[in-house]
Structure 1
């Protein structure tokens, strides 16, 4: 990411951390992916990638051995292949496994953070579709949710869509695309960030139950456009409740 819009990334990363802490959500699948796909396609963008992710706390373990057993347990539950076995890196333990199911890649990362009485265990699970059928994620996500609930865990998923416009859009055109998405999702704008190449708008839609609470205001939609200096097009990234990855 270039320096020109690095400050925007800092905002997104900070917001992503907030997402991991206080959210308002109710149980059950809410269909955010389908809503985002419809809204993005209606603006004429070509869908390049769809992604959902969740981060759950697995509690405390007493040793790296127990952490490794926990990692194997969850990998086996989702029939994943180990990419990097448990290792100590930068003061914390990490484990990585993944697999492909039809058009969807599933990526599991387990992290153990040491403290005085043991290790706090966290699991990050990402479902990613880069083919022609992003809706395939929905089926796998429901299976993943069922597995978590069977273990007494209620996961909260964030959703992100990445698309591309074939032309370099001017500021007015970029703003128009973003606001079109907001109208499609019945969302109200809350805040906006902009620099030479990026426009980012955050807002809230009552269509979805899940939301963040930032400074006393609800937020559950973020859309950003970026004029790509390496190609003739303009990138679009849309996420709920926020964009949780660099665009």
Structure 2
């Protein structure tokens, strides 16, 4: 995880927690993830990777390195990170990170940070898995982590994403708008925001099928879908996330 990406994650967490964008719905998190992955599967030629990410408030560390390290070690032990490496990722902010194997072929990363000028600590738990991973194991891991995080009083939300190349049928027809419309219908959503620039097409949806949501302006968003043309390979990369996409697409 790069320094820039870590700081971006922490920034998103702070915005969500302090401006009320995050809706806390742990009880439905696994159902949201299962639905996202199941619906996406027929639209993808290859599943390059799947990401689960939980962000939440984790007490106060006052920006003190020793307190951040202590909080990170305590939480990593509670979450079962038995085999890990620990290294600082930023010189400007106190950041603790640990990594461990999880759910078979996946890699879990826990980040605890206290951004400069803040007294609070934030926890970011992330699981990165290849598309070939057993999705049942990933969902079981998510359920177990939800219980452990709640047990530590950490209030936050799950963000689940899947990314891979669009199906061969789409690559042949090459109609991104039509393909996007089919996905919107598959998720039983209504588009509240769109973006197009020739090589990228994205849509933000509101869908009653999902519980987790954020507020984007005056709009509620449950799912985001993005198509991006790789001009080198000529393939369209498909990224889908609930309630939003927080990875490069």
Shorter chain as denominator, the TM-score bin is 0.7 to 0.9
The answer to whether the 8 A contact 2:51-2:126 is kept is yes
Residue 74, structure 1, aligned to residue 59, structure 2 = no
- Tell me, which stretches of 5 or more residues in structure 1 are unaligned? 1-12
Superposed CA offset, 1:75-106 (max 9, x none): 2223324433347x342111111111212211
Cα 1:243–1:85 change in 2 (3 A) is same
- Alpha-carbon RMSD across the aligned residues, in angstroms, is 2.6
- Asked if structure 2 preserves the Cα contact closer than 8 Å seen for 1:161 and 1:239, the reply is yes
Which is helix-richer, 1 or 2? Answer: 2
Deviations 1:38-90 (A, max 9, x none): 22222253222111101111121253222211111112223324433347x34
Aligned to 1:10: none
Structure 2 unpaired stretches of 5+: 1-9
Q: Using structure 1 for the length normalisation, give the TM-score.
A: 0.83
Pair 1:27–1:84, CA change in 2 (3 A): closer
How much does 1:158 deviate?
Answer: 0.8
Comparing 193-202 and 37-46, the one that deviates more: 37-46
Maintained 8 Å contact 2:52/2:161: yes
Match of 2:113 among 87, 111, 115: 111
Q: Does 1:121 align with 2:121?
A: yes
Aligned counterpart, 1:92:
93
Report the Cα offset of residue 14 of structure 1. Answer: 9.1
Residues 1:120 and 1:44: Cα distance change in structure 2 (over 3 Å): closer
Q: Give the deviation of 1:153 after TM superposition.
A: 2.2
Separation in structure 1 between the aligned mates of residue 174 and residue 87 of structure 2, nearest angstrom: 49
Rounded Cα–Cα distance in structure 2 between residues aligned with 1:38 and 1:110: 31
Q: 3-state SS of the aligned residue for 2:109?
A: strand
The separation in 1 between residues aligned to 2:136 and 2:176, in whole angstroms, is: 26
| 1:39 aligned onto 2:31 | no
Between the aligned partners of 1:23 and 1:79, the Cα distance in structure 2 is 26
| Structure with a larger share of its residues in strand | 1
Within 5 A, what are the aligned runs for 1:43-192? 43-62=43-62, 63-80=64-81, 81-86=83-88, 89-101=90-102, 102-115=104-117, 119-132=119-132, 133-165=134-166, 169=171, 173-192=175-194
Contact 1:60 1:120 in 2 (8 A): yes
Instruction: Specify which of 212, 231, 245 is matched with residue 243 of structure 1.
Output: 245
The answer (yes or no) to whether the contact 1:51–1:129 under 8 Å persists in 2 is yes
Contact 1:110 1:121 in 2 (8 A): yes
Alignment of 1:1-12 (within 5 A): none
Give the Å deviation of 1:37: 1.9
